[in-house]
Structure 1
Amino acid sequence: MDTIASLFSFITWPVSWVIVQFHKLYGAIFGPDTGWAWGLSIVSLVVLIRICLIPLFVKQIKSTRNMQVLQPKMKAIQERYKSDKQRQSEEMMKLYKETGTNPLSSCLPILAQSPFFFALYHVLSAIASNKKIGVIDQSLLDSARQAHIFGAPLAAKFMDSAEKVEALGASLTDVRIVTAVMIVMMSASQFFTQRQLMTKNVDLTVKTPYMQQQKMLMYIFPLIFAVMGINFPVGVLVYWLTTNVWTMGQQMYVINQNPTPGSKAQEQYLGRLLKSVTSHGEVKGRTRRNTVKRIVAKGTDRNDIERKFVTGLAKLGLAPQEDGTVAKSDTAVAEAEGGAAQRRQQPKRQTKAKRQTTAGHPGGAKDAEAGESESKTSLQKSAPQDDKPKPAGKPASGSSRQAKSGQRKGPQRPKHPSKK
């Protein structure tokens, strides 16, 4: 770790200068030799760095979402050019270029933050070794060595020997308890941040190997930080715990205000937006109007969550507009009422005889209906027709229909003269 940190020694001067400036501020409040003054200086360094990295964080969010959307297309390219790796790479690069996606953008915040992390590690290692570094002179060095956070010196590590810890004016037990608690908190915050991203801000309709990869990283990253944390000084643990908490809060804000389409977070967000429109009768806030504007622009390409939101507005008699507002619409009310009536329509109740026939014979319902129609027809035919006059010279209908025994029905052939 010391070798890697030495590679970033060129940035130790600005890092040490920023820490000293914050130390002057907090030293005037809490005292220059206290752990609060030095600890809050490190926390302020993290906040300053993360504020500067917000544009990169926005690019990371966009890149991650684009990668999720492109996963089905990427999988299709891999299947299509399975035997031609060069053509596969060309098609992948073409897809990235067309969609404006950069796979490395998701790593930009970590890559940009790494030099500051290792520079701080280098500064704290120099303090532990009682060496001047950057703008930290001997007086500041002595002050930093006296600073303790809950009994643990800033430059102490979990794996330090008892002699080294005693030289810093602390006990090995205090150092190991404080560092162990901070390592657990650091790993837990890392796990919760990744889990929050996977469970709330992922399009659940897209099932790709990328999702499984992210799920594995959710468990691997905390373990890596836990193993590495035993070699981190207390000041570096403060730095990393602070940046994890910042990332968690920043991500929570993004998930609540600008969730991924098709995710659980979007369903919750549009539910809150619908309640707000129900209460106020309008869309309040520029961010919310932009959300409605994007939903309107999608047209028929909306997902199920967005269609449910539009249907909810229609039940209120409102229709989303292109500028992100909502307006009253009689058409929306009619469509909502028509849809509700169609859902309420129930099938006709069958009689007991029909249900028994249907249960006893497959296709019994049709047979029962046919039987009823035949019985009605036969009754109409057999009913006496006394009101109508019968034509003269015509035999009775009943006798004409009855045939003698031994004779065939229908017209009879005349007998041969020899048989008369």
Structure 2
Amino acid sequence: MDTIASLFSFITTPVSWVIVQFHKVYGAIFGPDTGWAWGLSIVSLVVLIRICLIPLFVKQIKSTRNMQALQPKMKAIQERYKSDKQRQSEEMMKLYKETGTNPLSSCLPILAQSPFFFALYHVLSSIASGKEIGVIDGPLLASARQAHIFGAPLASKFTDTAAEVAALDASLTSVRIVTAVMIVMMSASQFFTQRQLMMKNVDLSVKTPYMQQQKMLMYIFPVIFAVMGINFPVGVLVYWLTTNVWTMGQQMYVINQNPTPGSKAQDAYLGRLLKSVTHHGEVKGRRRKSVVKVIVAKGGDRNENERRFFTGLSKAGFAAQADGTVIKSDTIVAETESGAAAKRQQPKRQTKAQRQAAAAQQAVTKDAEEGSEPAAEQATTSLEKKPQGSAKADAEVETKDEAKDQAQGDKPARPRANSGGSRQGKSGQRKGQQRPKHPSSKK
């Protein structure tokens, strides 16, 4: 570790100068020789470095999302040119160029932060050994060696011997307890950061090996930092714990405010946005309008979360516009409600007998409501009350029709109806109208 730290010795002077400047501020509040003054100086150094790395963090987020989206295409290229590694590399570079993706962007924050980490490690190691470094001269060196955080000197390590710890005016038990607690907190924050990234901010619709790799790293990284942590001075543990907590908070903010499309975090974000639009009747905030604008521009390429969001807007009576705003639309509400009602009120398919029975029942009900008798009862009543004169006139008309048919010679005479008005067949013969015999046939 000393060899690696010496490679970044060119930055030790700027790092030591920043620490001293913060120490002057906090020393005036808590005292120049206290652990709070030196500890908060290290924390402030972390915050300053991470603020400067925010643009790189934004690029890391975009690169990570682009890499997740490109995994299926990358896998297809690998399978297609698995026997030609050169062509495979060329197609990969072409894909990166077309999509504007840089695979190294996801590592930029770590790469940019590593020189500061090793420079700080070199500064604290020099303080532990009593060597001046950078702008930390004799008085500042003595003050830093006397600074303790919860009884543990800034330059002490978990692996230090009792004599080395005693030289820093501390007990071995206090040093190991403080360092062990900080190592556990550092590993736990690293694990939680990776876990919330995998559980909430990953597109669940895309299943790629990249997800499995991230899942493995979620368990491997905390173990690596725990093993390395026993060789870190307390000041470096303060630095690394602070940067892990910053990363965790930064990741939580990104997940809540700018989630990955298709992830659980996006579903939760759009749910909150829908609730806000329903309550206020408009999209509040420029960033939220830009989100709605992007979703509208996607058209048919929206994922399940975005389609569910638009369905909720329609049910609430709103329509999203191309500029990210929403308008109230009563037509959408009416169409949605009528469509839902029509879908709920679809009748079951009935048989022909059931439809005929229902029609007959409706006819009877209609007659009863109008106060008239049913058609069958009216026919029976009219037959029963029919006068004899009218019956005789009907018989005469029927006889004239039969004579007319016989005169034409085309049709035989019709059988006469009985007085009851109904036709009955003879015994042993088929009921109903009989087929006429040919005139030349014998009886």
Q: TM-score range by the shorter chain?
A: 0.7 to 0.9
Distance in 2, Cα, partners of 1:86 & 1:399 = 102
1:373 deviates by 9.6
Counterpart Cα distance in 1 of 2:88 and 2:82: 7
Q: After superposition, what is the alpha-carbon deviation per residue over 1:215-247, rounded to whole angstroms, capped at 9, x for unaligned? A: 000000000000000000000000000000000
TM superposition shift of 1:401: 10
Partner of 1:366: none
How many Å apart are 1:109 and its aligned residue?
0.2
User: In angstroms, what is the RMSD of aligned CA positions?
Assistant: 2.9
Which residue number in structure 1 is paired with residue 309 of structure 2? 309
Partners in 2 of 1:222 and 1:243 — Cα distance?
14
Q: Deviation digits for residues 292-313 of structure 1, max 9, x if unmatched?
A: 1111111111111111111111
Gaps of 5+ in 1: 351-368, 376-385, 404-409, 413-420
Aligned amino acid, residue 87 of structure 1: R
Match of 1:184 in 2: 184
Where do 5+ consecutive residues of structure 2 fail to align?
358-379, 384-393, 403-411, 416-422, 438-443
Q: What is the 5 A alignment of 1:136-175?
A: 136-175=136-175
The change in CA–CA distance for 1:400 and 1:248 in structure 2 (over 3 A counts) is: farther
Please report the TM-score for the alignment, with normalisation by the length of structure 2: 0.81
User: What is the Cα deviation at residue 90 of structure 1?
Assistant: 1.3
- Shift in alpha-carbon separation, 1:79–1:310, aligned structure 2, 3 A: same
Residue in structure 1 matched with residue 367 of structure 2 by the alignment: none
Query: CA–CA distance in 1 between the matches of 2:10 and 2:436?
Result: 121
Per-residue CA deviation, residues 250-294 of structure 1 (Å, 9 max, x unaligned), is 111111111111111111111111111111111111111111111
Change in 2 beyond 3 A, CA 1:13/1:373: closer
Given the alignment of the two structures, is residue 197 of structure 1 paired with residue 236 of structure 2, yes or no?
no
Distance (whole Å) between structure 1 residues aligned to residue 48 and residue 324 of structure 2? 35
The correspondence of residues 21-420 of structure 1 with structure 2, limited to 5 A, is 21-348=21-348, 369=351, 392-393=412-413
Distance between the aligned counterparts of 1:342 and 1:84, measured in 2? Answer: 59
Change (3 A) 1:343 1:244: farther
Q: 1:339 to 1:77 in 2, by over 3 A?
A: farther
Query: Residues 411 and 331 (structure 1 numbering): CA distance in 2 closer, same or farther, change over 3 Å?
Result: same
Which amino acid is 1:74 matched to? M
Q: Distance in 2 between matches of 1:373 and 1:24?
A: 95
TM-score (norm 1): 0.85
88-97 or 329-338, which deviates more: 329-338
Judging changes above 3 Å, is the alpha-carbon distance between structure 1 residues 119 and 401 closer, same or farther for their aligned structure 2 residues?
Answer: farther
What whole-Å deviation, never above 9, does each CA across 1:351-403 have from its counterpart, x for those lacking one?
A: xxxxxxxxxxxxxxxxxx4788999xxxxxxxxxx999797546889579958
Inter-partner Cα distance in structure 1 for 2:337 and 2:107: 49
CA, structure 1 residues 401+50, in 2 after alignment: closer, same or farther (shift >3 Å)? Answer: farther
Find the residue that maps to 2:29 and give its secondary structure: helix
Question: Shift of the alpha carbon at 1:329?
Answer: 2.2
Question: What amino acid is the match of 2:4?
Answer: I
Paired with 1:278 and 1:372, the residues of 2 have a C-alpha distance of: 47
Checking the alignment, whether the CA contact within 8 Å between 1:311 and 1:336 is kept in structure 2 is no
Structure 1 stretches (4+) deviating beyond 6 angstroms?
A: 370-375, 386-391, 394-397
- For the structure 1 residues 374 and 56, does the alpha-carbon distance in structure 2 shift closer, same or farther, using more than 3 Å as the test? closer
How far did 1:72 drift? 1.4
Find the residue that maps to 1:319 and give its secondary structure.
strand
Moved more, 31-40 or 391-400: 391-400
Match of 1:312, SS state, is helix
Q: Percent identity of the aligned residues? A: 82
**Structure 2 residue aligned with 1:19:** 19
Deviations 1:160-188 (A, max 9, x none): 11110000000111000000000000000
Higher-Rg structure is 2
What are the Cα deviations for residues 66-106 of structure 1, in whole angstroms up to 9, with x where unaligned? 11111111122222222222222111111111110111100
CA distance 1:329–1:6, change in 2 (3 Å): same
Q: Distance in 2 between matches of 1:245 and 1:339?
A: 51
Aligned counterpart, 1:6: 6
CA shift at 1:62, angstroms?
Answer: 0.4
CA–CA separation in structure 2 for the residues paired with 1:242 and 1:374: 81
Which amino acid counterpart does residue 48 of structure 1 have in structure 2?
L
* CA offset digits 1:298-355 (Å, max 9, x no partner): 11111111111111111222111111111122442234224422442355287xxxxx
Instruction: Tell me which residue corresponds to 1:364.
Output: none
Amino acid at match of 1:83: S
Which amino acid in 2 is paired with 1:66? N
Q: Aligned to 2:284, what secondary structure does the other structure show? A: coil
Q: Distance in 1 between matches of 2:26 and 2:221?
A: 33
Moved more, 169-178 or 328-337: 328-337
SS in 1 for 2:170: coil
Q: What secondary structure does 2:327 align onto?
A: strand
Q: Distance in 2 between matches of 1:338 and 1:83?
A: 59
Greater shift, 82-91 or 124-133, is seen at: 82-91
Aligned partners of 1:296, 1:113: CA distance in 2, in Å? 38
Q: How far apart in 2 are the matches of 1:222 and 1:339? A: 53
CA distance in 2 between counterparts of 1:284 and 1:374 reads 59
State the alpha-carbon separation in 2 of the partners of residues 307 and 393 from structure 1.
78
Q: Does the 8 Å contact 1:314/1:335 carry over to 2?
A: no
Range moving further from structure 2, 131-140 or 339-348: 339-348
